[in-house]
Amino acid sequence: MAQEFDRVQLRDLTEYVKTEALRLGFSRVGITTPEPPPHLEIYEKWLKERRHGEMTYLETDRARHRRADPHRILPECESILVVAANYLPNGQKSTGVAAYAVGDDYHEVLTDRLKRLVSSIEARVGREIKNRYYTDTGPLLERELAQRAGLGWIGKNTCLISPEYGSYFFLAEVLLDLPLEPDQPIKTDHCGECTLCIEACPTNCILPDRTLDASRCISYLTIELKGTIPLELRQLTDDWIFGCDICQQVCPWNLRFAEPTADQAFQARAFLNEPTPRIFLQLTPQDYRTALSKSPLKRAKRSGLLRNAAVAAGNAGGRASVPDLERVLAKEEDPVPRAHAAWALGELGELEALRVALDSEQDPEVLAEIRLALDGAED
Amino acid making up residue 214: A
User: Does pLDDT of 50 surpass 90?
Assistant: yes
Mean pLDDT, residues 132-141 taken together: 94
Residues 6 or more apart in contact with residue 6 via CB below 8 angstroms: none
Q: What is the mean pLDDT of residues 293-309?
A: 97
**Overall average pLDDT of the 269-287 stretch:** 93
Residue 1's pLDDT is 47
Question: What pLDDT score was predicted for residue 2?
Answer: 57
Report d(CA 217, CA 247) in Å as an integer. 11
Residue 18 contacts by C-beta under 8 Å, 6 or more apart in sequence? 29, 31
Q: pLDDT confidence of 7, banded at 50, 70, 90?
A: confident
Q: pLDDT digits over 189-212, tens only?
A: 999 999 999 999 999 999 999 999
State residue 92's pLDDT score. Answer: 65
In the set 12, 136, 189, 209, the catalytic residue is 136
pLDDT above 70 (res 3): no
Inter-residue contact 321 to 283 (CB < 8 Å): no
For residues 178-195, give the mean pLDDT.
95
Give the pLDDT score at 319.
93
pLDDT at 194 (0 to 100): 97
214-229 residue pLDDT tens: 999 999 999 999 999 9
Round to whole Å and give the CA distance between 276 and 302.
Answer: 15
**Where residue 9 falls among pLDDT bands split at 50, 70, 90?**
confident
pLDDT the model gives residue 93: 60
pLDDT at 46 over 80: yes
**Average model confidence (pLDDT) across the chain:** 95
Mean pLDDT of 278-301: 96
Q: Would you say 167 and 174 are in contact if contact means Cβ atoms under 8 Å apart?
A: no
pLDDT for the residue 8: 86
Q: Is 333 helix (H, G, I), strand (E, B) or coil?
A: coil
* Residues 281, 293: Cα–Cα separation, whole Å: 18
- Strand, coil or helix: 41: helix
Q: Which residues pair with 161 in a beta bridge?
A: 153
- Flag whether pLDDT at 5 surpasses 80: no
- What distance in Å separates the CA atoms of residue 370 and residue 307, rounded to the nearest whole number? 15
Q: What is the pLDDT of residues 103-132, one digit of tens each?
A: 999 999 999 999 999 999 999 999 999 999
CATH 3.90.550 fits 7-176, yes or no: no
Instruction: Evaluate if residue 6 carries a pLDDT over 90.
Output: no
**Strands 28-32 and 153-154: what pairing?**
unpaired
pLDDT tens-digit series, residues 79-107: 999 999 999 999 766 679 999 999 999 99
Tell me if residue 104 is catalytic. Answer: no
Share of the chain above pLDDT 90, in %: 93
pLDDT (0 to 100) of residue 309: 98
Give residue 274's pLDDT band: very low, low, confident or very high (50, 70, 90): confident
The domains of the chain are located at: 7-176, 276-379
